[in-house]
Amino acid sequence: MFLCLFSAPVLNVLSRAIAQRQAFTWRSYIPLLLLLTVLTAALTWLYLSLSDEFTETLVSRGEVLTEPRIFLVQCSEDYENHKRFPGCTPTKCGRAVTDSVVTKEEAQVLKRLAERGLALGGSDGGASILDLHSGALSMGKKFVNIYRYFSNQISEVFTEEDFKLYRDVRGRIQKVIAETFGLDSSQMYLTKPTFFSRINSTGAKTTHDEYWHPHIDKVTYGSFDYTSLLYLTDYGVDFGGGRFVFMDSNSNRTVEPRAGRVSFFSSGSENLHRVEKVVWGTRYAITVSFTCDPDHGIADPTLP
């Protein structure tokens, strides 16, 4: 109705003015839209670069390493805060993985040992431990001493052959660590905690079940100088998730567990690490730890 008040030339002028104003309005938003596009792309790249899909795999489950695969890193200053022991205190730091120290059959025997022991207890959450040295066994939301709590059943659960294999495997792991890092193995001592672990996807009930937090072994356990993991089950076959992740400054680097695989590393902050949450199945492993300080050494376990 109002348009009828204007002549055709006037309407043409008004139409062009409106069109120009609309064009100007959209052009004024173009820099902002470009900025938002760039920011969105940058945030997407950052998210993806931090996700597990972009994590580098140091050793996959499908590989079989007949010789240690060694990755050297610069030693941290953590060791300066502790007494130094020539021939043992780390001066050459890094991480290594090998499949030639423990056979798959031996790993299966050790897994059955762990299963029998943990069958007597087990955490209410997703992470349970069995320590043959101290006797510590997860039980609900606490720990008990398996040798005392189940003293009448121990002879039915463990055998001397089990303990002999455990001691022999410990010795082999100690030897390969010494050879890899150029150490005097006689100056290395088993230390605590050294234990079997069983992890599944059950939700955590206590802080003891929260195994996935990043940590540094030398900081968490002052006695640790070298840490090793012997895996007793296969990633992607027996469980999902549960990879071991070295958290380096420029990327995450993972080791995929394989039954019989031994992964070991110097325990300082040069090897900040975590374990992924297990999302299905059950992951079994043994943590075998070594110190250079004889005052923190522990003996091999013996059957009571």
The region that residue 220 occupies, defined by phi over 0 for left and psi between -120 and 50 for alpha, beta otherwise, is alpha
Nearest to 199 by CA among 272, 270, 287, 264: 287
Q: Which residues are catalytic?
A: 283
Q: How far apart are CA 210 and CA 99, in angstroms?
A: 28
Pairing relationship of beta strands 278-281 and 239-241 according to DSSP bridges? antiparallel
- The SS3 call for residue 147 is helix
Nearest to 228 by CA among 170, 184, 298: 170
- The SS3 call for residue 119 is coil
> Before 193, cis peptide (omega within 30)?
yes
Q: How far apart are CA 214 and CA 232, in angstroms?
A: 22
Cβ contacts of 172-180, under 8 Å, gap ≥ 24: 172/101, 172/102, 173/101, 173/102, 173/228, 173/230, 173/262, 173/264, 173/288, 174/290, 176/68, 176/98, 176/101, 176/262, 176/264, 177/226, 177/228, 177/264, 177/290, 180/68, 180/70, 180/96, 180/264
